[in-house]
Structure 1
Amino acid sequence: MVSLLVVAGLIVAAFVGFNIGGSSTGVAFGPAVGSRLVRKTTAATLFTAFAFLGAWTVGRNVIVTMSEGIVPAAQFTPVAGVGVLFFTGLSLLVSNIYGVPASTSMTAVGAIVGLGLATGSLNEALMFTIVSAWIVAPLVGLGIGAVIGRYVYPQLEARLAFTRLERQLVQIDRSGSLPRPRLNENASSRDLAGSVLVLGIACYMGFSAGASNAANAVAPLVGNGAVSIDQGVLLAVAAIGLGGFTIARRTLATVGDGITDLPILAALIVSTVGATIITILSYLGIPASLAVSTTCCIIGLGWGRASRAVTLAELATPPSGDAPGPSLTADALAAPSTEEGEPAAQTVGDIAAGESPDTEVRQDDSPSVPPIGEEDVEQLTAESLFDPAATTRIVALWIITPSLSVAGSYLLFALLL
């Protein structure tokens, strides 16, 4: 009976890792594949390699926390391990049904918390630290995004352009006796610099995903001794890689619903900020959500961009009946950025669809950014990037899904097991 439960646990763990790889590969390498820097197979290979590096290094700390820190390792019986993994897999199903990137980490922790509450073995001090990090990390992402959006993003937008190459950046030259790699001869030095940036950040996202998500798939199995930490990392990354080579091909084609409307520059910024936050938390052994941190950074980036329409003094002035003050939203990232009404920077969705704007004129012009307080707030919020109803649904599910995981796990272990 025990051996059958261990096998069931391994299967469920592989299913969780498979789905993590399918969703995370598209988000990390969508811009790189869409702009034809790498092929889908190369993207899956790089993602798997860097996810392994992240899981094998800082990801171990998260595995330790989830396998023996939140509740004692002895609580992870074979039955308990399968139960926890079941609720983690269920969260992925719910998020796919509603089209919302629910936090696998938060839901997995919720299932473990339910086990701890049912058995009276929950480490409350550690959970206080973890929940505090869940609150602080998105606020940090929001704040960093706002500062970058107000002071840095317009300068970068005026100087950087990302184009979609007609053929891959690195090609195989078969003219000689032995095939050898060579760079795309049509790629300019600007293309090369932008390509290195896009590809480097994609690999960094893969590292962060491996560091934070490997524990979600195997922590209960490590806790009950079914596998060691090393074996757990290998199992998780193998399943994540399988997802990257199979079901991720669709997410790579659509480039992830969460970032398709973002300008490519904004997507790179929020990816870097989100991955850095999660990597630091993983090093500290704290499981946290990459989706939550990056989404908050997107909102902060858009708000900071819109806030350039007013000075700090105007922002600090309380509105009155005679001067209601400007209406600032996070829609600025989709708005025109020049007085001539040129379209916003190329989006991730554009490069995935094969649409390439004419960037020659903008590259020849000397970059000019209006000073803070002199930009038109109506232009900055000309187009809607965020749907308030959809945002409310996403945030609600981020709260509801882990809560349901805690409740369901508690009822399972308190009443049935």
Structure 2
Amino acid sequence: MMSLLIIVGVVVAVFVGFNIGGSSTGVAFGPAVGSRLVRKPTAAALFVVFALLGAWTVGRNVIDTMSSSIVPASQFTPVASVIVLFFTGLALLISNLYGVPASTSMTAVGAIVGLGLASGTLNQALMFIIISAWIVSPLVCFGIGIGVGRYVYPYLDRYVAFTKFTLQFIQLDRSGTVPRPYINPNASPQDIVGSLLVIVIACYMAFSAGASNAANAVAPLVGEGGSLTVDQGVLLAVFAFGLGSFTIARRTLETVGNEITELPILASLIVSIVGATIITILSYFGIPASLAVSTTSTIIGLGWGRASRAVPLPKLVTPTPGSSDFEMATGALVTSRAEDLPVGPTIGDIARQEDPPEKSEEIPDVPDIGAEGPADLDEESLFNPAAAKRIVTMWVLTPSLAILASYPVFVFLL
């Protein structure tokens, strides 16, 4: 019976890792694949390599926290492990059905908290630290996004360009006996620098995803008396990531179902850097946190800051009486402050195989803060407050439901 439960636990862990790998590969390497900098198999291989690096290094700290620190490792019996993994997989299902970036990390921790409450072994001091990090880290991402969007992004948008190549960035000369790689002749020096930057940041995103997500797939199976050692758990998680990367990740760009897909490539790279850095830092300290929550918070902050350039800071702090609410938007990232100046390609453009308008070779001046431009208050691009409430509600609801649902199950079984 126990052997069967262990097998079930491993199968469920692979299912969780499979879905994580499929979604995370698309988010990390979407810009690189869509811009034809790397092919899909290359992107999958790079994701697996850097996810393994992240999981094998700082990811161990998160595995240790979730497998033995929130509750003692002895509490993770085969039955308890399967239940925790079940609720983690359920969070992935909810996320896919409703198109909301529900956090598998937060849900997995919620299920473990249910186990701790039922057994009376919950480490309350550690949970206070974890919950504090869950509150502070999105606010930090949001704040950084506002600062970059309001004061830095407009200048980067003028001088940093990303090209969508008709042919792959790296070509092979097969005229000789041994194929010789060479760079696409249409690539300018600026294209080369920008392209390498896209690939490096994609690899960094994969590192962060591996560091934070390996524990979600295997932590209940690891630990004192567990079914797997930490090394085995890391390898199993990355193996499952790889299955998702080489299969369902191929459809990520075609689906265009994630908030990040409608961002310009420049914005998506900024979001990736901020979100991945915050999660890597938290993972180093062994705190399980959500990459989806961090990146989405950065997207909202970046759009808010970008749109707020049309309003002086005193007006933001003290709105004019009788004026309509100035709703800040992630959509502000896909508009340009300069008249008749289209922005660079979005990941969604690439996914739909649409050619974005060509940018003017003339680089206009960036309007001062408070100077309104024709696209500053584009109502269609403003952020929908109802959507924001739905996302935040799901962030709170999924771990809460995991606790409420798992607690009676564990009370009954223990």
Which of the five TM-score ranges fits, normalised by the shorter chain? over 0.9
**Is the 1:306–1:329 contact (alpha carbons within 8 Å) kept by the matching residues of 2?**
yes
Shift of residue 356 of structure 1?
2.8
Q: Which residue of 2 aligns with 1:412?
A: 409
SS of the aligned residue for 1:260 comes to helix
Shift of residue 225 of structure 1?
2.0
Shift of residue 310 of structure 1?
2.5
Shift of residue 387 of structure 1?
3.3
Q: Which residue of 2 aligns with 1:105?
A: 105
Q: How many residues align?
A: 412
Q: Which residue of 1 aligns with 2:280?
A: 279
**Is the 1:307–1:328 contact (alpha carbons within 8 Å) kept by the matching residues of 2?**
no
- The structure-2 alpha-carbon separation of the partners of 1:377 and 1:115, relative to structure 1 and needing over 3 Å to count, comes to farther
CA distance in structure 1 between the aligned counterparts of 2:113 and 2:139, rounded to whole angstroms: 24
Q: Which residue of 1 aligns with 2:332?
A: 332
CA distance in structure 1 between the aligned counterparts of 2:257 and 2:177, rounded to whole angstroms: 41
- The structure-2 alpha-carbon separation of the partners of 1:326 and 1:344, relative to structure 1 and needing over 3 Å to count, comes to farther
List alignment gaps of at least 5 residues for structure 2.
none
CA distance in structure 2 between the aligned counterparts of 1:325 and 1:83, rounded to whole angstroms: 49
SS of the aligned residue for 1:182 comes to strand
Shift of residue 233 of structure 1?
0.3
Shift of residue 298 of structure 1?
0.9
**Is the 1:328–1:377 contact (alpha carbons within 8 Å) kept by the matching residues of 2?**
no
**Amino acid in structure 1 at the alignment position of 2:303:** G
CA distance in structure 1 between the aligned counterparts of 2:254 and 2:324, rounded to whole angstroms: 43
Q: TM-score, normalised by structure 2?
A: 0.95
SS of the aligned residue for 1:379 comes to coil
Give the fraction of aligned pairs with identical amino acids, expressed as a percent: 68
**Amino acid in structure 1 at the alignment position of 2:213:** N
CA distance in structure 2 between the aligned counterparts of 1:382 and 1:37, rounded to whole angstroms: 34
Q: Which residue of 2 aligns with 1:178?
A: 178
Q: Which residue of 2 aligns with 1:353?
A: 352
Shift of residue 378 of structure 1?
5.7
**Is the 2:59–2:211 contact (alpha carbons within 8 Å) kept by the matching residues of 1?**
yes
CA distance in structure 2 between the aligned counterparts of 1:280 and 1:72, rounded to whole angstroms: 24
**Amino acid in structure 1 at the alignment position of 2:117:** L
CA distance in structure 2 between the aligned counterparts of 1:202 and 1:380, rounded to whole angstroms: 32
Q: Which residue of 1 aligns with 2:303?
A: 302
Q: Note if 1:208 corresponds to 2:205.
A: no
Moved more, 242-251 or 374-383: 374-383
**Is the 1:255–1:349 contact (alpha carbons within 8 Å) kept by the matching residues of 2?**
yes
CA distance in structure 2 between the aligned counterparts of 1:255 and 1:45, rounded to whole angstroms: 22
**Amino acid in structure 2 at the alignment position of 1:403:** S
Q: Which residue of 2 aligns with 1:239?
A: 240
CA distance in structure 2 between the aligned counterparts of 1:174 and 1:68, rounded to whole angstroms: 54
SS of the aligned residue for 1:286 comes to coil
SS of the aligned residue for 1:383 comes to helix
SS of the aligned residue for 1:16 comes to helix
Shift of residue 379 of structure 1?
2.6
- The structure-2 alpha-carbon separation of the partners of 1:236 and 1:59, relative to structure 1 and needing over 3 Å to count, comes to same
Q: Which residue of 1 aligns with 2:141?
A: 141
Q: Which residue of 1 aligns with 2:24?
A: 24
Q: Note if 1:160 corresponds to 2:160.
A: yes
**Is the 1:21–1:241 contact (alpha carbons within 8 Å) kept by the matching residues of 2?**
yes
- The structure-2 alpha-carbon separation of the partners of 1:61 and 1:377, relative to structure 1 and needing over 3 Å to count, comes to farther
- The structure-2 alpha-carbon separation of the partners of 1:82 and 1:317, relative to structure 1 and needing over 3 Å to count, comes to closer
Shift of residue 386 of structure 1?
3.3
**Is the 2:335–2:375 contact (alpha carbons within 8 Å) kept by the matching residues of 1?**
no
Q: Note if 1:57 corresponds to 2:64.
A: no
Q: Which residue of 1 aligns with 2:187?
A: 187
**Is the 1:334–1:385 contact (alpha carbons within 8 Å) kept by the matching residues of 2?**
no
CA distance in structure 1 between the aligned counterparts of 2:318 and 2:112, rounded to whole angstroms: 47
Moved more, 390-399 or 54-63: 390-399
Shift of residue 311 of structure 1?
2.4
Give the CA RMSD over aligned residues.
Answer: 1.7
Q: Deviations over 1:97-125 (max 9, x none)?
A: 21222101000001100000000000000
Shift of residue 180 of structure 1?
2.3
Q: Deviations over 1:131-170 (max 9, x none)?
A: 0000000000000000000110000011122221011111
Q: Deviations over 1:35-67 (max 9, x none)?
A: 111111011000111100000000000000000
Q: Which residue of 2 aligns with 1:314?
A: 315
**Amino acid in structure 1 at the alignment position of 2:376:** Q
CA distance in structure 2 between the aligned counterparts of 1:400 and 1:46, rounded to whole angstroms: 34
- The structure-2 alpha-carbon separation of the partners of 1:190 and 1:256, relative to structure 1 and needing over 3 Å to count, comes to farther
CA distance in structure 2 between the aligned counterparts of 1:343 and 1:181, rounded to whole angstroms: 34
**Amino acid in structure 2 at the alignment position of 1:173:** D
SS of the aligned residue for 1:346 comes to coil
Shift of residue 328 of structure 1?
4.5
**Is the 1:332–1:382 contact (alpha carbons within 8 Å) kept by the matching residues of 2?**
no
CA distance in structure 2 between the aligned counterparts of 1:313 and 1:401, rounded to whole angstroms: 37
**Is the 2:309–2:369 contact (alpha carbons within 8 Å) kept by the matching residues of 1?**
yes
CA distance in structure 1 between the aligned counterparts of 2:64 and 2:111, rounded to whole angstroms: 16
**Is the 2:337–2:375 contact (alpha carbons within 8 Å) kept by the matching residues of 1?**
no
**Amino acid in structure 2 at the alignment position of 1:218:** V
Shift of residue 189 of structure 1?
1.3
**Is the 1:29–1:252 contact (alpha carbons within 8 Å) kept by the matching residues of 2?**
no
SS of the aligned residue for 2:259 comes to coil
**Is the 1:34–1:255 contact (alpha carbons within 8 Å) kept by the matching residues of 2?**
no
CA distance in structure 1 between the aligned counterparts of 2:271 and 2:140, rounded to whole angstroms: 12
CA distance in structure 1 between the aligned counterparts of 2:100 and 2:144, rounded to whole angstroms: 24
CA distance in structure 2 between the aligned counterparts of 1:239 and 1:326, rounded to whole angstroms: 46
Shift of residue 357 of structure 1?
3.1
CA distance in structure 2 between the aligned counterparts of 1:95 and 1:199, rounded to whole angstroms: 27
**Amino acid in structure 2 at the alignment position of 1:191:** D
Q: Deviations over 1:327-360 (max 9, x none)?
A: 2422421223212x3333321111222223353x
CA distance in structure 2 between the aligned counterparts of 1:36 and 1:23, rounded to whole angstroms: 19
**Amino acid in structure 2 at the alignment position of 1:311:** P
Q: Which residue of 2 aligns with 1:9?
A: 9
**Amino acid in structure 1 at the alignment position of 2:101:** P
Moved more, 101-110 or 366-375: 366-375
